[in-house]
Amino acid sequence: MKENDIIEFKRQFVNDLNKEVIAFANTNGGEIFIGIDDDGTIVGSTDIEAVELQCVNHILNTIKPDVSMFVKYDRISVEGKDVLKITVNKGSMSPYYIASKGIRPEGVYIRRGAASIPATETAIVSMIKETTGDSFEETRSLNQNLTFFQAEQEFLSAGLSFTEAQKRSLGIIGRDNCYTNLGLLLSDQCEHKIKFALFQGTEKEVFKDRREFSGSLFRQLEDLIKTLDNYNKLSSPKIKNIKRVDLRDYPEEAIREAVLNAIIHRDYGLGGYTLVSAFDDRIEIVSLGGLMRGVEMSDIMLGVSYLRNKRLAEIFYRLHFIEAYGTGISKIKRSYEEYINKPTFECSSNAFKVILPKTTDTILKSTPERKDRESVVLDLIGEKGEIVRGDVEKALNVSSATATRVLGSMLKEGKIKRIGQAFNVKYIL
C-alpha cells in the first residue's frame, strides 16, 4: 500500500495533521494512518488511545467549519502493531480551513495525487459557490476577521438589537457559523468602495477634488451624503408665480435616493467601484450591475422592484433608510417635477447610471400650481379636520420635499397652523 490521492501515512502525530484532514474533506475524502512511515514501514504506536485523543482534540480545535462529523477513528492492528486509522469523508461545508489562517490559500488545502497542497483563490471561490450557491449575500466571506462598530451604532439608533442571534436571523452569520458576504458588506472591513470626483466644467478633464470612501456600507453612505451636501449649494432664484424661495442646486431627496439605489442594488460580485462624479451642471452616479435577467428598463421606470441583494435591502428597510421597495426611481422623478430638465437613467449590461441635472440651471414650470395646490390642502383640512404631510403628498401626488415647501409657505402666510412635535406633527386651519 502506497500514499496516493486517498491515502496518507504519518509515522506519529504531527501538528500538520489538520492540513491532511482539510485536504481530504475539501476534495474526495481519504484515509490517514498514524503509525505508518512515509515509505510504508509499519512502526505502530505504544499508546494508541492517547494518540487518538490527541488527534480528536487537534482536529476539533484547529479546523473550521467543524469537520468532526465527517471524521471516523478506528484502532487497527497491522503486522501486530497498533495503528490509528482516520477516515475522512468529503465534507458538505467546504472550504474547510485552518482556523488560525482563515479562508486563504495558506489555510485551505486540497488533495492532488499523494500531496496536500494550498488551494488557489479561484478554487476556494468555486468551493464556496458549490456549498452556498451563487447568491453573493449568502456566500461565505473570504475574510472572517470582521468587526461591526458602525453597524452596531446604526442598529442602536434605530432601537434594534445587534446580537449574535440577530446576525444569524439577518443572514450576517450563515448556517456554517461563518460570516457571509452580507456580513462583509456591513462590516468595518468592507472591501467594496465608492469613488467620488469633482470636475471643473462639464467634462472629465480637470479634477477639483477626489475622494474614496471605504468601511461599512453605512459609513460609506454617510460620508458620501455629507460630501455631496457640501457641494449642493443654496441659491435663491426668482420664480414666476412663486415667491423667492431658497433652493439647493440638487433636490436632497433625489441625491439620497440615487445613492441608496446605487448601494443597495449594486452587483458586489463584480470588481471595481461605485462611481460618483459631480460637474458644473450635473451629478452622475454609476453603480456596477445592469438589470437582472427578465427585467426591462420600462419595468424599473414603473416602480417594479427586483432585488439583487434581498437581505441587504431588508436591513436598510428595517433601519428606515428606505420606506418601501421600488420607490427610489419614482421619488427621484417627483423631486424634479417642477423643473424643465429631468433626471435621466441609463443602463448597460454591467452598469446602471443616474444623471441628476442642476436645478438652478433650469427654469421652474410657469404654471399657477401654487394657488391650486394650496386650495387642495385647505379643502383637505376642511374635510378631515387635521392632516399630516403624507396626506399632502398623496393628494398632490408630489414628493415629501415639495409637500414640505407647500406647507411651509402656507404656515408662513398664516393660512394653516402646525400642532404636535417630531413624528406627530399635524396641520389644522
With residues binned 3-state (H G I as helix, E B as strand, rest as coil), the percentages for the chain, rounded to 5, are 35, 25, 40
Structural domain contains residue 314: no
Structural domain contains residue 267: yes
Average pLDDT over every residue of 249-278 = 91
Residue with cell 439605489: 261
374 — alpha (psi -120 to 50), left (phi > 0) or beta? alpha
Among 186, 214, 230, the domain boundary falls at: 186
Q: Give 51's pLDDT tier (boundaries 50, 70, 90).
A: very high
* Residue 254 and residue 381 in one domain: no
* Residue 220 and residue 346 in one domain: yes
Q: Determine the pLDDT at residue 34.
A: 96
Separation CA 323–CA 345 (nearest Å):
21
CATH of the domain at 294: 3.30.565.60
CATH of the domain at 423: 1.10.10.10
Q: Which domain holds residue 168?
A: 133-186
Structural domain contains residue 1: no
Average pLDDT over every residue of 397-426 = 82
Among 361, 384, 411, the domain boundary falls at: 361
Structural domain contains residue 311: no
CATH of the domain at 100: 3.30.950.30
Instruction: Note whether 26 and 119 are within 8 A (CB).
Output: yes
Structural domain contains residue 79: yes
* Residue 353 and residue 382 in one domain: no
Grid coordinates in use for 63? 479546523
* Residue 203 and residue 258 in one domain: yes
Instruction: Note whether 410 and 380 are within 8 A (CB).
Output: no
What tens digit of pLDDT does each residue of 24-34 get? 999 999 999 99
Average pLDDT over every residue of 329-354 = 87
End-to-end CA distance of the chain: 95
* Residue 286 and residue 323 in one domain: yes
Contacts (Cβ under 8 Å, ≥6 apart) of 135:
none
* Residue 356 and residue 376 in one domain: no
CA dihedral over 179, 181, 186, 188, signed as positive or negative? positive
CA 189 → CA 142, 319, 416, distances in Å? 12, 20, 50
Instruction: Note whether 172 and 314 are within 8 A (CB).
Output: no
Q: Determine the pLDDT at residue 242.
A: 47
pLDDT averaged over the chain? 87
* Residue 81 and residue 203 in one domain: no
Helix (H) or strand (E) holding 285: strand 282-288
Separation CA 24–CA 88 (nearest Å):
6
Structural domain contains residue 310: no
Q: Determine the pLDDT at residue 367.
A: 43
Decide the pairing of beta strands 206-213 and 234-235: unpaired
Structural domain contains residue 159: yes
Q: Determine the pLDDT at residue 337.
A: 82
- Burial label for 402, CB within 10 Å (0-12, 13-18, 19+), is buried
Q: Determine the pLDDT at residue 18.
A: 95
Number of domains making up the chain: 4
Q: Give 247's pLDDT tier (boundaries 50, 70, 90).
A: confident
* Residue 235 and residue 336 in one domain: yes
* Residue 68 and residue 95 in one domain: yes
Residue closest to 353 by CA, chosen among 362, 344, 363? 344
Separation CA 373–CA 391 (nearest Å):
13
Average pLDDT over every residue of 311-334 = 86
Decide the pairing of beta strands 351-357 and 247-248: unpaired
Q: Determine the pLDDT at residue 422.
A: 62
pLDDT at 349 over 70: yes
pLDDT at 418 over 60: yes
Average pLDDT over every residue of 327-355 = 87
Residue with cell 489555510: 107
* Residue 252 and residue 353 in one domain: yes
What tens digit of pLDDT does each residue of 186-216 get? 999 999 999 999 999 999 889 999 999 999 9
Q: Determine the pLDDT at residue 270.
A: 80
What tens digit of pLDDT does each residue of 129-157 get? 777 666 788 888 888 899 999 999 999 99
* Residue 323 and residue 220 in one domain: yes
3-state SS assignment for residue 24: helix
Angle between helical axes of 310-318 and 252-265 (0-180°, round to 10): 140
* Residue 379 and residue 345 in one domain: no
Structural domain contains residue 272: yes
